[in-house]
Amino acid sequence: MSRVLRTQPEANLESGSDAKAALSREESTDAKVDSTIEVETETFDNLVSLLPDGHVSLMKIDVEGHELAVLEGAAETLGRQGIDVLYIEAGMDRDNPQQTWYRDIEDALALHGYRLFRIYEQKQDWIEDRPVLRRVNMAFFSPRMIERHPVRLTKEMADLHNKIEVLQTQLAQKQALNEATEARLAKAERDSAEALESIKMEQDDAIVKAKRAHEEAIETIKMERDEAIAEAERANVEAIEAVEMERDEAIAEAERAHAEAIETIKMERDEAIAEVELAYAKEIETVKVERDLAISEAAAATKAREKDAVKHANAIETAKVERDLAISEAVAKARNKAAAEQSKAIEAVKKQRDRALSEAVATARDKAAAEKAKSEKEWFKELNEVTYRIAAIEASTSWKLTAPLRRIVERLRHR
């Protein structure tokens, strides 16, 4: 079978001004050159007969206004529903010869039971610069395709794949959250270590301050001790001087009394010697004895005072030694007690801090691990359910039978 087709020169039809210019060139070319040529053609029915099964899944028709002729040449194939999907360019303007009017195409296919599936690539009449549609691409399904079209299974499969993507996104988010939790835990550990180091530095500063205060207290005690010793020494010197003065005064008083007694005795003796030399000889002896006794007593009293002064000095020295010993023992006890209490307090604070830090870190890790395990368990459970459902759908007979149609639908969906 032969047909005469009219071809047109190629033109840029992407913009209004260029299209008009192209149409003007086409008119001038048609006026000067005969563009009609005769070519060999073949019906679609004859071409399909060459196929092993005589079946076509998808047929695309774009023949610039000759769509009805193509459909006429495929009448036998259309009558037995040998084409699942027809994708045809159609015009929206009855008077436009470049495309076949869409209603004529729809009526021709309706004779064979074909129904419109969807309209694609809707183009406005940009040549005449009008907002109405100029042409579209229309997809038609055969009755068999309509009956076997797996809308529910395809939608369910798409929903399951979307669910898998959502679950994967949730897993990524949970992993990011776990990483953030690990980072926060590591930061908490770093902050804890920094806080521990800060506490150690503060404790070291406190220890240094306590040592300085202890040394200052010792210096103060030493100064007070030295002042007390100096005060005691001054008091001892004053006491010794007072004793010595009293001793000297007693000696001088005794010497004066002795001298006066001697003078008196001498005078009395001189006066009485002449008269009562014999009578008073014994008395003179007695007076001498009493005088010597008085001198001895005065000397003994002086020696006793000196001995008392030595005892007082020795007592002062003993008191100094005992006081220094008591001060040293008190300072040592106070230092040891303060050091022991400080060490004990530091150890208690360290133990309490380490125990609290260990408990906090362990609790945070256990909680994060439990939440991570729980979320992963739920996620894998839901993923397994989706996977099992997908496997069940893919293993079903209807899904296997409609595999070629799904590829056609998928291509049409993404046009």
Half-sphere exposure of 126 (CA within 13 A, CB side): 12
Query: By three-state DSSP, how is residue 126 classified?
Result: coil
d(CA 35, CA 26): 10
The mean per-residue pLDDT over the stretch 326-330 comes to 82
d(CA 307, CA 313): 10
Whole-number pLDDT of residue 15: 39
Work out the percent of the chain whose per-residue pLDDT is above 70. Answer: 82
Sign of CA dihedral 232, 235, 241, 245: negative
d(CA 31, CA 210): 115
Has residue 331 got a pLDDT over 50? yes
Whole-number pLDDT of residue 227: 85
d(CA 403, CA 277): 177
d(CA 47, CA 74): 9
Work out the percent of the chain whose per-residue pLDDT is above 90. Answer: 11
Q: How would you classify the pairing of strands 83-91 and 56-61?
A: parallel
CA 227 distance to own-chain centroid: 62
Q: How many residues does the chain have?
A: 415
Query: By three-state DSSP, how is residue 100 classified?
Result: coil
414 compared with 220, residue with greater pLDDT: 220
| pTM (2 d.p.) | 0.36
Structure tokens at 400: 């296997």
Q: What is the pLDDT of residues 266-292, one digit of tens each?
A: 787 777 667 756 766 676 677 678 778
* 213 CB neighbour count, 10 Å cutoff: 11
Q: Are the CB atoms for 154 and 390 separated by under 8 Å?
A: no
* Cα separations in angstroms, 7 against 34, 105, 146, 395, 408: 10, 22, 37, 51, 31
Structure tokens at 241: 């001087």
Q: Which residue has the tokens 């404790």?
A: 203
Has residue 11 got a pLDDT over 80? no
Has residue 341 got a pLDDT over 80? yes
Helix 281-395 and helix 151-276, axial crossing angle in degrees, nearest 10: 180
d(CA 82, CA 296): 166
Q: What is the pLDDT of residues 173-225, one digit of tens each?
A: 888 888 888 888 888 888 888 888 888 888 888 888 888 888 888 888 888 88
Q: How would you classify the pairing of strands 56-61 and 115-125?
A: unpaired
Has residue 244 got a pLDDT over 50? yes
Whole-number pLDDT of residue 280: 60
Whole-number pLDDT of residue 75: 92
Q: What is the pLDDT of residues 115-133, one digit of tens each?
A: 998 889 888 776 667 777 8
Q: What are phi and psi of 7, to 5 degrees?
A: -100, 155
Q: Is residue 28 exposed (0-12), middle (13-18) or buried (19+ Cβ within 10 Å)? A: exposed
Has residue 3 got a pLDDT over 60? no
What is the pLDDT confidence band of residue 151, given thresholds at 50, 70 and 90? low
CATH numeric code, 53-149: 3.30.110
d(CA 330, CA 322): 12
**Spans of all domains in the chain:** 1-41, 53-149, 175-393
Angle at 157 between CA 155 and CA 163, to 5 degrees: 100
Question: Shortest CA distance to 149 belongs to which of 85, 66, 56?
Answer: 85
Has residue 13 got a pLDDT over 50? no
What does pLDDT average to over the chain?
Answer: 78
